[in-house]
Structure 1
Amino acid sequence: MPTRSSSTINNGSRTRPRQVAATNSVIIRSFNEYAFSQNLEDGTDEHWEARRRFISQEVRSRFTRVFGADVNSLEGWKKLCKTVLGSAKGKKAINLDELTTIRQCKAKLQNSFVNLIDLVEYAQNGNVLPRRLVFESAEALAEYTKEETKFFPKEDAKSVPLLKLFLIAVFAH
């Protein structure tokens, strides 16, 4: 469970405690700053809806910028392979020059499950995901996603077809 720190915010004449989750995620930290500036109370429906919209927009925008949106783009698939499997060893290890078809890329990525927030943040910085962030099952990814509260609303992926292929049902696990 992420560590939580407490601060206070002043809402006119009253002061109330504010819980802020400690996170390494730039996207989530940016949302936390936005929520603080908008005086959104942590845990309220208004807070969660604003968080959903903010994270959705950021992930879709960054994903499209780095990987593109075209499911038929070999270059996009190769970038995904490099980001997800760049630190892999053994049969998951990749040589991008050997990947000449999308089918080969999909085969390499099979049974590799990643959190979309982590994926776009590492990729945007030109880094590969560390092995600890590449899961071998949807269940393991779902558990991590819930623990870290790094949710991406699956209904929002429809506008980025390539992104849509990486979704799992977190609460089904």
Structure 2
Amino acid sequence: MESPDYFLRFPHFQRKPALPSNDEFNRLARQMKWKRGSKKYKHERSDFLASEFNIHYGSDATKLENWQRLCIELDIGQAIGSITKCRKALAKVHVNLVDLVDTRRTGESVEHFPNVSALRKYTKETKKVFPKSAAKADGFLKALLRVII
């Protein structure tokens, strides 16, 4: 990714920061004439979602404060004292990563699913799939990554 703010690469694009991420990206894709499903579309969507996550939650996975903020936002608790404990706590949380990014964009809270099966069903129904390549590259996202397909 070239910039922490993905949209700096597109100065003529009129951003609407309160829109859900899929809607915002699809507006840009239409403007740029990226065909849905193409390699370019998939690559740009992956970069966009990773950038959105990093803007809202930070990109330094070595800072305990970043992990604690994510745990607090996901209602895990405030008193987690190490990155390892945060990772373990997050391993028990099942949220859709696109929805998590959207909590900062739309102000709506993210839904917690009771298990991976319920998350998988929701993700497939809504087609809100966070690109695995982007999630694996980021320490925070990797902690929340679940096998969906």
Fold similarity call, TM over 0.5: yes
Could you tell me how far 1:146 is from its partner in structure 2?
A: 0.9
Residue in structure 1 matching 2:57, options 57, 64, 67: 67
**Residue 107 to residue 162, structure 1, CA distance change in 2 (3 Å):** closer
**Residue 70 to residue 55, structure 1, CA distance change in 2 (3 Å):** same
CA distance in 2, matches of 1:25, 1:121: 8
Could you tell me how far 1:25 is from its partner in structure 2?
A: 5.7
Residue in structure 1 matching 2:137, options 153, 159, 168: 159
CA distance in 1, matches of 2:52, 2:132: 16
Could you tell me how far 1:124 is from its partner in structure 2?
A: 5.4
Describe the superposition over 1:80-134 as per-residue Cα deviations: whole angstroms up to 9, x where unpaired. 112212xxxxxx5x2x1x2222233234333211111111221456x5734xx11
Q: Which residue of 2 aligns with 1:48?
A: 37
For 1:83-162, list aligned pairs within 5 A: 83-85=73-75, 94=77, 96=78, 98-123=79-104, 129-130=109-110, 133-162=111-140
Letter matched to residue 104 of structure 1: K
Letter matched to residue 28 of structure 1: N
So what's the TM-score if we normalise by structure 1?
0.62
Q: Which residue of 1 aligns with 2:20?
A: 26
CA distance in 1, matches of 2:73, 2:102: 10
> Higher strand fraction: Structure 1 or Structure 2?
1
Task: Give the count of matched residue pairs.
Answer: 131
**Residue 106 to residue 39, structure 1, CA distance change in 2 (3 Å):** closer
Give the gaps of 5 or more residues in structure 1.
1-23, 41-45, 86-91
Describe the superposition over 1:64-94 as per-residue Cα deviations: whole angstroms up to 9, x where unpaired. 2232233332111111112212xxxxxx5x2
Preserved CA contact (<8 Å) 2:94 2:116: yes
Structure showing greater Rg? 1
Preserved CA contact (<8 Å) 1:145 1:151: yes
Letter matched to residue 120 of structure 2: A
Letter matched to residue 65 of structure 2: E
Preserved CA contact (<8 Å) 1:25 1:118: no
Which of the pair has the greater relative contact order for Cα pairs under 8 Å at 6+ separation?
Answer: 2
Give the gaps of 5 or more residues in structure 2.
1-17
